[in-house]
């Protein structure tokens, strides 16, 4: 499609100004005021709206294959489009997970024609697949995922020897290694002890996964990665200790990036009272003291990325009486942009910083920049157009995911996605996802 966007307030690095954008064959071909194009198939008047580089959500679980009753690539990517997200990176915790070239190709065959947004795929590291890692890298995965602790779905947790060996192997591929950083021994010991004491309330989930478990795992991952010469990414940092450790690693010029999630920035353990297991997630949502440090880390540059950790589960699963049986996770890919725009309106971060952590930095960390994550000549025409002044109320029943469990039902926010544009095609407007699905498999370039 040839598309002309007029009168928008366009977000460039470190500044915004009103200008027009011309898009041709999926690329930005002209940036100038008062553009006119006689061959544009469509013109969008973005008067009063902000035009951002397409949002990149570097951490989602679209659940396919194996858990399609919770989410699949069609419903998950529709939710992403409705949330202003133009590219997602899908985590490997399906059944089977991507642990070989064979399972990667099988996944691509399943999902390639279903996605409304562009997508990258992570491969998992296990105790058994070290011989597959270099081949997986050559096949174009976005990065690797290591679970250092058991999470919501029964995941493979490699021992330290395999983790360190995997990091050495992956270092030569230049792919980034993402870690779920919690100490599995601490978590399993505390969970067993608490269950033995008969504790079974929503609050006990936080007791079972203390911040020291995150801090120890981050410290170990940084040490291993630094020694192996690999590129490291810390997923969903939730604690003040985690922020300090990442800050120290960056000061030592270790190649480490870190993400946090909107739920850690907007909710505390006190906000979850009365919500039963709706707010159960791994790592857990912690106190205001931890949240304050997360905001400081986000604004100082210690935390590079905001991702949703979109992890849908069915309502009947969340409603199980026992906290030990109710799975962790809730939807986020459709809400992340709105929650962060609301934070911009509350002056918790600037719009420039939000663009960095939601678009430019994910693209840089995973080697997609500047073709993605920026508005410039020749860049892919992935754009998120938002109204910073629009106020609305989150209603779980109106979300596009297959299962819509979240702790945000009824929350009033200021800031809304108006258009989502992927490779020059409008995939969301006027509250509706438009098709057909055209999302492409994206791979890092070195």
Cβ–Cβ contacts within 10 Å for residue 69, how many? 13
Between the CA of residue 153 and those of 16, 116, 191, 226, what are the distances in Å? Answer: 42, 25, 16, 29
* pLDDT (tens digit per residue) in 34-87: 888 777 899 999 999 999 999 999 999 999 999 999 999 999 999 999 999 999
Cα-Cα-Cα-Cα torsion 242, 247, 252, 256, nearest 10 degrees, comes to 70
**Per-residue pLDDT tens digits for 297-319:** 999 999 999 999 999 999 999 99
pLDDT in tens, 220-278: 999 999 999 999 999 999 999 999 999 999 999 999 999 999 999 999 999 998 899 99
pTM: 0.97
- Which string of DSSP letters, residue by residue, matches 297-319? HHHHTSS-EE---B----HHHHT
Question: Helix (H, G, I), strand (E, B), or coil: what is residue 291?
Answer: helix
Q: Could you tell me which of 345, 265, 337 has the C-alpha nearest to residue 297? A: 265
> What CATH superfamily is the domain 55-365?
Metal-dependent hydrolases (3.20.20.140)
> Given its phi and psi angles, is residue 361 left (phi above 0), alpha (psi -120 to 50 degrees) or beta?
alpha
Q: What percent of the chain has pLDDT over 90?
A: 93
| pLDDT for the residue 152 | 66
pLDDT reading at 446 higher than 50 = no
> 327 vs 86, 97, 205, 241, 279, CA distance in Å?
28, 18, 11, 26, 10
The CATH superfamily label for domain 3-51+378-389+410-433 reads Urease, subunit C, domain 1 (2.30.40.10)
CB-count exposure of residue 333 (10 Å: 0-12, 13-18, 19+): buried
pLDDT tens-digit readout, 313-367: 999 999 999 999 999 999 999 999 999 999 999 999 999 999 999 999 999 999 9
Q: What is the pLDDT of residues 359-404, one digit of tens each?
A: 999 999 999 999 999 999 999 999 999 999 999 999 999 999 999 9
Give how far Cα 355 sits from Cα of 90, 351, 352, 359, 374, Å. Answer: 21, 6, 5, 6, 9
Rg (CA), the chain: 21
Place of tokens 């690539």: 73
- Fold match between domain 3-51+378-389+410-433 and domain 55-365: no
Q: How far is CA 92 from the centre of its chain?
A: 13
Domain parsing of the chain, residue ranges: 3-51+378-389+410-433, 55-365
């Amino acid at each position: 499609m040839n598309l002309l966007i007029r009168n928008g307030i366009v977000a460039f690095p470190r500044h915004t100004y009103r200008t027009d954008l011309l898009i041709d064959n999926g690329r930005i071909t002209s940036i100038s005021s008062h553009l006119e194009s006689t061959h544009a198939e469509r013109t969008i008047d973005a008067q009063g709206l902000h035009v951002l580089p397409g949002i990149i959500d570097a951490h989602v679980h679209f659940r396919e294959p194996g858990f399609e009753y919770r989410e699949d690539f069609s419903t998950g990517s529709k939710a992403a489009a409705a949330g202003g997200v133009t590219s997602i990176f899908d985590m490997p915790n399906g059944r089977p997970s991507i642990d070989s070239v064979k399972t990667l190709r099988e996944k691509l065959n399943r999902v390639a024609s279903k996605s409304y947004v562009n997508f990258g795929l992570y491969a998992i590291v296990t105790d058994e697949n070290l011989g597959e890692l270099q081949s997986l890298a050559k096949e174009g995965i976005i990065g690797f995922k290591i679970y250092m602790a058991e999470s919501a779905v029964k995941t493979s947790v490699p021992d330290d020897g395999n983790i360190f060996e995997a990091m050495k192997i992956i270092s030569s591929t230049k792919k980034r290694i993402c870690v779920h950083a919690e100490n599995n021994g601490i978590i399993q010991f505390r969970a067993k002890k608490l269950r033995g004491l008969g504790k079974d309330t929503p609050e006990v989930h936080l007791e079972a996964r203390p911040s020291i478990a995150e801090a120890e795992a981050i410290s170990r991952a940084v040490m291993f990665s630094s020694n192996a010469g690999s590129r490291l990414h810390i997923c969903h940092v939730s604690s003040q200790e985690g922020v300090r450790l990442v800050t120290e690693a960056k000061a030592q010029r270790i190649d480490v990036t870190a993400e946090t999630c909107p739920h850690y920035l907007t909710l505390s353990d006190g906000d979850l009272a009365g919500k039963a297991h709706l707010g159960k997630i791994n790592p857990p949502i912690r106190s205001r003291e931890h949240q304050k440090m997360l905001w400081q880390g986000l604004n100082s540059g210690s935390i590079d990325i905001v991702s949703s950790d979109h992890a849908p589960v069915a309502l009947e699963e969340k409603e199980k009486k026992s906290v030990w049986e109710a799975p962790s996770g809730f939807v986020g890919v459709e809400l992340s942009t709105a929650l962060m725009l609301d934070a911009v309106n509350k002056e918790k971060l600037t719009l420039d910083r939000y663009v960095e952590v939601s678009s430019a930095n994910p693209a840089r960390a995973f080697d997609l920049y500047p073709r993605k994550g920026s508005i410039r000549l020749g860049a892919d025409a992935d754009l998120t157009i938002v109204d910073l002044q629009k106020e609305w109320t989150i209603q779980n029943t109106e979300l596009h995911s297959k299962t819509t469990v979240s702790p945000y039902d009824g929350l009033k926010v200021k800031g809304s996605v108006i258009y989502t544009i992927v490779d020059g095609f409008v995939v969301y407007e006027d509250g509706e996802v438009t098709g057909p699905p055209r999302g492409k498999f994206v791979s890092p370039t070195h």
